[in-house]
Amino acid sequence: MKPVKVGVLGLGTVGGGTVNVLKRNAAEIARRAGREIIITRASAKDLNKVRICDTEGIILSADPMDIINDPEIEIVVELIGGGGVVKDWILKALENGKHVVTANKSLIALHGNEIFAKASEKGVIVAFEAAVAGGIPIIKAIREGLAGNEIEWLAGIINGTGNFILTEMRDKGRDFDDVLAEAQALGYAEADPTFDVEGIDAAHKLTILASIAFGIPLQFDKIYTEGISRITRLDVEYAERLGYRIKHLGIARKTPEGIELRVHPTLIPERRLIANVNGVMNAIVVRGDAVGNTLYYGPGAGAEPTASAVVADIVDVARALTSDPENRVPHLAFQAESLSDILVLHPDNFKTSYYLRLCTEDKPGVLADVTRILADHNISIEAIIQKEALPDETLIPIILLTQITLEKEMNAAIAAIEALDTVNGKVNRIRLETLENK
Ligand code: HSE
């Protein structure tokens, strides 16, 4: 069979990694795909830049349209990222009958419904394994490996930069900014690193995971998102004393009332495997009704780990080139006409446990006032730590863990606690998940 010709848009970290992996492993890849896969063209903004890859044999151009309009190219690999004109290029490539492989999570999360509709209309594939959790084949695992299950929930560390920052802060006491700068230098962080730190990148990925897990349309705007910038060293230490680790999780859970979609720092029991996923590594626990809990672990960012997922998609597309579009794996795991509009819950209706840290005056009755407010809101306490006041200090920290409660009850209780004269400042609240079989 004649080789499959591929054009790559973008030769940055992931683009460079993809060229290197495809060239280095060309023989193994051809044995798997049943034919050679060659990158014949690539585009880059600055053609004179020093690159991590060898571009020998590849025609370079500054204009992506040279690739999109080349009749020889069968697969366009988009590794530029972001929206705007990139979305137009992808739609144009689909319009031209090209299959598309992309690592662009924001584009899929925000515009995937439109992009998949266009791909279906043209009978071509859009593959996006590299958009979620870097090198972990989580899309394939959920979409194909777990196709016999009803997915009940999933919870994942799906931003490598955030996990790298939390790990370095905990293990080495390093400063937030210092670790973030290192993540940027290593090519892990987004162009705008607030996307990593404030949970937007994780929310893009959770949008995609929830859609393929539950068969719902992509709904980025319905995700509750909270970043890691409020997490203090004190919280990390108290959590550890209570037997927990703080991780930035994306959680999607089907409940009888609707679907919870949330990204936030989370206390998880330290005995869970996922609590011990450190550095830039990602991990996702997926619970299916038949299989139970499954865990997927691996590097969530970086040149070659992400290229590993991109190349796997290219191989998948190469194998499916001659297949009937009707019989391919659906983009979002479920047949497009079977996607269902299950209600996505408002955060008020989330059900979870909580860690609360408050600073109070050291007086009789303070703890009683706090526990009375919690009881009035039907909130049960699971554990409590009250630290003695330091010499010359009149304020003491109280740390509480609660049982599962409705978020709106917790919000009301926190407001009432903060209104007490004896409580100083804000209550620091972090959600807690046991990740048991519920
Ligand atoms: N900025 C992302 C991360 C890159 O740190 O996980 C991979 O999507």
Q: Any residues with Cβ below 6 Å from ligand 1, and which? A: 134, 159-161, 188-190, 196, 201, 300-301
CATH class of 4-135+303-336: alpha beta
CATH code of the domain occupying 138-299: 3.30.360.10
pLDDT number for residue 245: 95
How far, in Å, from the CA of 201 to the mean position of ligand 1? 7
Low-confidence ranges of the chain (pLDDT < 70): 438
pLDDT of residue 1: 86
Superfamily of domain 350-432: ACT domain (3.30.70.260)
Check 205, 222, 247, 254 and give the catalytic one. 205
436 Cα: distance to centroid of ligand 1 (angstroms): 27
Nearest CA to ligand 1 atom 7: 301
Between CA 281 and CA 97 the distance in angstroms is 36
- Report pLDDT for 438: 54
Active site residue 205: yes
What is the predicted pLDDT for the residue at 386?
87
User: From the alpha carbon of 282, which atom of ligand 1 is closest?
Assistant: 6
Q: What is the pLDDT of residue 332?
A: 96
CA of 110 to the centre of ligand 1 (A): 17
Closest ligand 1 atom to residue 105 Cα is 8
- The residue to mutate among 14, 158, 161, 207, having the most atoms of ligand 1 within 8 angstroms of its beta carbon, is 161
Domain chopping of the chain, boundaries: 4-135+303-336, 138-299, 350-432
Closest ligand 1 atom number to CA of residue 300: 6
